[in-house]
Amino acid sequence: MEYRQEVEMEIIQREDGVLAVEMCDDWSIGVLIKDNVHVSFVVVKADAPWHYGDDGVDLVVKGPSGEQIHDSRDKTSEKFEFVVAKKGLHQFCFTNKSPYHETVDFDVHVGHFSYFDQHAKDEHFNPLLEQIAKLEEALYNIQFEQHWLEAQTDRQAVVNEGMSRRAVHKALFESAALIGASVLQVYLLRRLFERKLGTSRV
């Protein structure tokens, strides 16, 4: 069984001249050509109580002409970025090859600066506003990193909870088996002694 979800992102020019990224799920974010697109995902959990494994998912990112921008295979988490080359339709295609429904924490952010050490250009921007925008970008990158770490922590909590539940069930099963074996031994010893007593009386 394969679960496939496609998120399509198109870079378009609005009436006010600002380029925007439109997604097929009806949400959009402001973006300019040559912006940095930050992407992260974490497979938080698989909806199967007795299953745990690093099955992972596939993520393929394609540009407007169908050219492949990024390809991840069987990953439970990843973080990467790419620079927008041209406007058009961008696709984010997740594929789950596992038979279980999996919850994926997926985050996308478009940054206006590829490099934080860029100097402001007087002929294009007011230097003060550009520095403020860079500071805002740096603050978002910290939030982006925190969000990714929180998703990793959530995944680890789910894994730990599943492992501890299985350990408790295994311990209960072993205890029940041990009690059953003890009861069987007592029963067999009793029968043995009863037979011996019966033969010694005759």
**Does the global pTM surpass 0.75?**
no
11 part of a folded domain: yes
Instruction: Identify the residue whose tokens are 């041990």.
Output: 178
Instruction: Identify the residue whose tokens are 């990158």.
Output: 141
Contact between 144 and 109 under an 8 Å Cβ cutoff? The reply is: yes
- More reliable by pLDDT, 139 or 52: 139
Number of domains in the chain: 1
165 part of a folded domain: no
199 part of a folded domain: no
Residue 95 belongs to domain spanning = 3-159
177 part of a folded domain: no
Question: Residue 192: which region, alpha, beta or left (left: phi > 0; alpha: psi -120 to 50)?
Answer: alpha
- More reliable by pLDDT, 8 or 44: 44
201 part of a folded domain: no
pLDDT, tens only, 86-128: 776 677 788 887 777 777 888 888 776 655 555 555 655 677 7
For the chain, what percentages of helix, strand and coil (3-state, to nearest 5) are there? Answer: 35, 35, 30
182 part of a folded domain: no
149 part of a folded domain: yes
Q: What is the CB neighbour count within 10 angstroms for residue 79?
A: 14
70 part of a folded domain: yes
Share of the chain above pLDDT 90, in %: 24
